[in-house]
Amino acid sequence: MKLNIAVLPGDGIGPEIISQALKVTEAICDKFGHDLVYEHALVGACAIDAVGNPYPDATHELCMSSDAVLFGAIGSPKYDNDPTAKVRPEQGLLAMRKKLGLYANIRPVTTFPSLVHKSPLRADLVDGTDFMCIRELTGGIYFGRPQGRSEDGRTAYDTCVYTVEEIDRIVRLAYKYAEQRRKKVTIVDKANILSTSRLWRQEAQKIEKEFPHIETEYMFVDNAAMQIIQWPKRFDVMVTENMFGDILTDEASVITGSLGMLPSASIGIHTSVFEPIHGSYPQAAGKNIANPLATILSAALMFEYAFNLQEEGQLIRNAVDASLAEGIVTEDIAENGKACKTTEVGQWIVEYIL
């Protein structure tokens, strides 16, 4: 198979972790006989510095012509610490989501046996956790209009907007994945307060009737936030709107014991983007200490979701599990001071695959 991908390293540790994920991708393609074609492009702060735009037209054109996008991270202290900056790296991420039609962010939340003791939650609560969060990406308060401030600057406002079409496609996607898993969908909203949530629940209740063989439950977001901590193993597929999903997926990420372990996929109308959930971690940039495993696991999701190559994705996960078991890990999860460099972890996984 021919795999045509766009590679967007981004800012901070992005280039280092993407480099390792790309090496693993090349190793998989070599082993299974796939033809890999890829091209790099700018996004984020480095794109602002180069061309004044965090998501340049040339980057968008490359993404549109690619079957998948392997993406690192966005963000720079240069812009974080400048409240007057008119263009910010994060605007590039929002623009990419909107222009590529990335409507669903998928974050698997799974525990790794060798890391259970690093979770802030009790081992008996988290061991065996395996659920999928699906966050709607193109609607909600992040994109709603109007938004802004009053003329005197003393009042600010944002608007949460959702359409039936946006709700329909994300809820149907949740049922699609639930059919491949343990056949349970949890729809998270705030229907007792918000009009948009009531529309979500109304539409979900219509769709639910088409899937009588799948268990459906509805949960208010505040209750879901508690249940993720109290009983994470009760969930299978969780689907929710943009801001709720942003918050809940970050909360769920601590279950594994390390942000550096969690991949994500953003499913789009035109193409799909695969990235780690952590940020650009500028303090570690250039030091060869960043954990590449979330990005490598994102490459596994790319093989599965973009190309339907399940065996290839599973081999990457097996390699990551083996590296954890052997203690071939970076300093964020290393025990007894036995930390490997970013490049050493990547190379070990490549050799395991080959």
User: How large is the C-alpha radius of gyration of the chain?
Assistant: 20
61-101 pLDDT per residue, tens: 999 999 999 999 999 998 887 777 889 999 999 899 889 99
Q: Which residue has the tokens 């180069």?
A: 50
Give Cβ neighbours of residue 247 (< 8 Å, ≥ 6 apart).
221, 225
Give Cβ neighbours of residue 82 (< 8 Å, ≥ 6 apart).
none
Are 239 and 225 spatial neighbours (Cβ–Cβ below 8 Å)? Answer: no
Q: Which residue has the tokens 């009531």?
A: 198
Q: Which domains are present in the chain?
A: 1-110+261-354 (3.40.718.10), 120-256 (3.40.718.10)
0.85 exceeded by pTM: yes
Q: Tell which phi-psi region holds residue 222, choosing left (phi > 0), alpha (psi between -120 and 50) or beta.
A: alpha
Tokens of 285: 């940039």
Give Cβ neighbours of residue 102 (< 8 Å, ≥ 6 apart).
96, 137, 138, 266, 267, 268, 272, 273
Give the catalytic positions in this structure.
142, 190, 222, 246, 250
CA atoms of 198 and 182, how far apart (whole Å)? 26
Tens place of pLDDT for every residue, the chain, 354 residues? 999 999 999 999 999 999 999 999 999 999 999 999 999 999 999 999 999 999 999 999 999 999 999 999 999 998 887 777 889 999 999 899 889 999 999 999 999 888 888 888 999 999 999 999 999 998 999 989 999 999 999 999 999 999 999 999 999 999 999 998 999 999 999 999 999 999 999 999 999 999 999 999 999 999 999 999 999 999 999 999 999 999 999 899 889 877 778 899 999 999 999 999 889 999 999 999 999 999 999 999 999 989 999 999 999 999 999 999 999 999 988 887 789 999 999 999 999 999
pLDDT of residue 297: 97
